[in-house]
Amino acid sequence: MGDMRKDYVSERFMIVSKNNGKVVESKKNPFAPGNESMTKPSVLSLVEKDGMLQRLQDSEDDYVEGWSIRVFESKNPIVSTEAENSYSEKPFYSEPAYGYHYIIVASQNTKDTFATISPDQWSNVLVVVQDRLRWLYTQKGVTYVSIYGDEGILSGTTNPHPHLNLLTLSTIPPIIDAEAEASHQILNEKGICHMCQTINDELSGPRQILQTDGFIAFCPWAPSHPYEFWISPKKHTTSFSKITQKEINDLSLILRATLGGLTNTVKNVSYNLVFHLSPEKKNTRQIHWHIEIYPITKSYSGLERGYGIFLNDVSPEEAAEKLGAACRKELANLVGII
C-alpha cells in the first residue's frame, strides 16, 4: 500500500503507490460489462428496469448484470484502509496513505466518453457521486474526498473506459487549502465570496462560454491550460452534496454541453475534470464549489515543471470565443433531443 511523504521542509506531499499507474493492457477490460469478476464486488449497480432505476449490489459470487452505472473499490488503490506502513518524522516524514479509493463507471460502453454520455446518464452519475461522497465523509480518517475524471491518452488515466475516481485523503489537498484560505481571507476583509464576485464579473464578459438556469461555464482570467474552463453554480453554494435533483439535472446539461463543445473545438483532446468541493468536516474553511476542466494540448516545459509558471498559447478570451460557439451549438442539439 501507499506511503504519503512530505517534502524535507515544506508541507508539500506526494504519494508513493506501487500498485497504481498500471494502464489496462489486457484484452479484457475490467470496467466493461461481462468482466465484473475482474473488479472488487460493486457496492452499487444501477439497473434500469421498466423505466425505473434499481439500486442493486454484487454479492459474493453473484454479479449484477445489465447495469448502467457501477461503483466499486479500486483493485489497485492509490490510498487504502489496509495501509500498514509505519510513520516517520521529518526530514523523512511519512505516513500511511490511508483512505478509500472508489471507481464510478459512468457507462456500459467502453467507447463512450464524458462528452458522449447523455445528460440523463450524467445526472445519474452525479447522484451516485453525491451518495458516495456523503457516505465517505462519515468514515474514519477521511478529511477530504477528491473527485476526478481523466479522459484521453494524455490524461493519466489507467483505463479508457469512462469512469470517475473518488479518493479520500487524510489531509486537505494543497490547492483546495489555498483556495479555501484565500476565500476565507477575502470574506473577512471585504465581506464577499470571491467566487460570487468572479461570477458576477464574468457573467456577461468575454470569457463566459455557456449558461444554464443555475450554472455558468467560463474560461478563467489566468488559466494554466489552453481552453481551461470552470463550471460553477451562479448562486453561493458551498456543499455539492446538498444540491437538489433539479440542480443536478441543470449541471449535467452544462457539463455535457461544454465537454461536447470542447471535444468539437480541440481535436482528440485529453483532459482532466476535477471537482473543487468544500471539505465537509466541521470547522473547515468552505469554498463556493465548482468544477475545473484542464484540457491537455501540450507537454510541460521547464518553466511549468521547474517554476510553476504556466505558459498559455491560447488566451482565455480567444478560447472562450471558440468554446462558446461550439458549446452553444452542442446545447441546442442536446435540448433538441431531450
- Which residue type is seen at 230? W
Does residue 256 interact with Zn ion by CB under 5 A?
no
- Closer CB to Zn ion, 15 or 196, in the complex: 196
| Residue nearest Zn ion, CB atom distance | 193
Does residue 276 interact with Zn ion by CB under 5 A?
yes
Closest CA to 274 of 205, 175, 197, 194: 175
The Cβ of residue 201 has, within 10 Å, a number of other Cβ atoms equal to 13
Does residue 193 interact with Zn ion by CB under 5 A?
yes
> 251 phi and psi, to 5 degrees?
-65, -40
- Closer CB to Zn ion, 161 or 276, in the complex: 276
- Closer CB to Zn ion, 200 or 245, in the complex: 200
Grid cell locating 155: 490524461
Cβ-in-10-Å burial (0-12, 13-18, 19+) of 222 comes to exposed
Question: Minimum Å distance from CB 290 to Zn ion?
Answer: 6
- Closer CB to Zn ion, 277 or 331, in the complex: 277
Q: Which of 4, 147, 164, 195 binds Zn ion (CB under 5 A)?
A: 195
Grid cell locating 80: 487504502
Site string for Zn ion, 229-248 (x = CB under 5 A): -------x------------
- Closer CB to Zn ion, 161 or 285, in the complex: 285
Q: Cβ distance 78 to 17 under 8 Å?
A: yes
Within 120-179, the residues that bind Zn ion by CB under 5 A are: none
Q: Cβ distance 233 to 288 under 8 Å?
A: yes
Residues that bind Zn ion (CB under 5 A): 193, 195-196, 236, 276, 288
